[in-house]
Amino acid sequence: MTDASFPTVIISVPELQAMRGDPRLVVLEVKMKPVGVAATSAPESAPARIPGAHVFDLDGAFSDHAQSLPHMMPAPSDFEREARRLGVNRDSLVVVYDRVGLYSSPRAWWMFKAMGHAQVAVLDGGLPAWIEAGHPTSTDAAHIAREGDFVAKPVGNAFCDAETVERALNDANYAVLDARSQGRFEGRDPEPRAGLRQGHMPNAVNLPFMDVQVKGHAKSPSELKALFESKVGSRRKLVFSCGSSVTACVDALAATLAGYSDIQVYDGSWSEWGLPSRRSVVP
C-alpha cells in the first residue's frame, strides 16, 4: 500500500524539507492530548508547528463522537469532508507528524490508508526532529487556499471489530499484538480510563509501542523484522490493539516497515474489550 511518490511509509526530516516546493504536498500535525509515557515528552502546549502545516484533530473532527468509545474511525463521508477542509486532494502527498515523535501521527497515516489514500507518510521523529534539525517553526495558522477534492475509497479490512479479534485470538495463523505498556498488559498498572478491567486478551502478545522506536524515531527495518519474529514467529496475519486504537497504529507502522502487509487495527481496542462483558480477560 505504498506509492511511488513515497517509497516507504516513513519520511525523514531532510526528505520532507526537499519536498517543500511540491504543490501536491500537504503537511498535517496530528493533534491529540498525550497520555501515559508520551505525556512526559510532548510539548503539547507549544503553539509552534511546521510552517504551512494544518491541524488534523484526532480528539475532534477526526473521531466518531456518535460512539461512546474514544478515537473511533469516523464514517467515510465525514472523513472525506474533514480532509477536504484541510485542503487534501486526490493527488495530495500527505505527510503527518506529531509533537512526540511517533505517537498519534501513525493513527492518521492508517486512517488515510483505510480511506484508500496511498500517498501518505509519517514524519520520522515528528516535530522534535524538525526542531532538532534547525528548521523554523511558525505560530501562524496555515492558510487553506481552497477546499480539496479528496475522495474516500474505504479499504474494507483496515479496521476490525471485537468479533474479528475474538476469532483471531483462536486462529494459529493470526497474532494479536497489544501496544500498551507491559504494566497495563499484565494488569499491574491501572488503566487511564475509568471502568475498564485490567489485564489482556487471552493469547495476545505484548509489543509496547515504545519498543519499536528509539527517541521518537522508528527502528530500522532489520531491527523491526527481528523484533516481530521474536514476538509472532512465522505468523504473517497481524491484528493490533492498544488503549484506544491510536498507538496500535505505531505498531502497525513498524510492522509495515518490517515487511508485513496483512495487517488490521482493532478500532475499539481495550476501551471496548476491557469493559465489563463476557469477553475473556487474563488478569
Looking at every residue in the chain, the average pLDDT score rounds to 94
Tell me if 177 sits within 8 A of 204, measured CB to CB: yes
Q: Which residues contact 90 (CB under 8 A, 6 or more apart)?
A: 149, 150, 151
Q: Tell whether 137 is covered by a domain.
A: no
Whose cell is 503527518? That residue is 96
Confidence (pLDDT) at 92: 97
**Are 174 and 237 contained in the same domain?**
yes
**Are 27 and 95 contained in the same domain?**
yes
Query: Considering 132, 148, 183, which residue would you say is the last residue of a domain?
Result: 132
Q: Tell whether 281 is covered by a domain.
A: no
CATH of the domain at 27: 3.40.250.10
Query: Which of 240 and 43 is assigned the larger pLDDT?
Result: 240
Instruction: Please give the residue range of the domain that contains residue 31.
Output: 10-132
Q: Tell whether 208 is covered by a domain.
A: yes
pLDDT, tens digit, 9 for 90 and up, residues 147-180: 999 999 999 899 999 999 999 999 999 999 999 9
The yes-or-no verdict on residue 120 having pLDDT over 80 is yes
Whether the predicted model's global pTM rises above the 0.85 cut: yes
User: How many domains does the chain fold into?
Assistant: 2
Active site residues: 242
**Are 110 and 177 contained in the same domain?**
no
Q: Tell whether 45 is covered by a domain.
A: yes
**Are 107 and 176 contained in the same domain?**
no
Query: Which of 39 and 98 is assigned the larger pLDDT?
Result: 98
Q: What CA–CA distance (Å, rounded) separates 131 from 138?
A: 11
**Are 68 and 30 contained in the same domain?**
yes
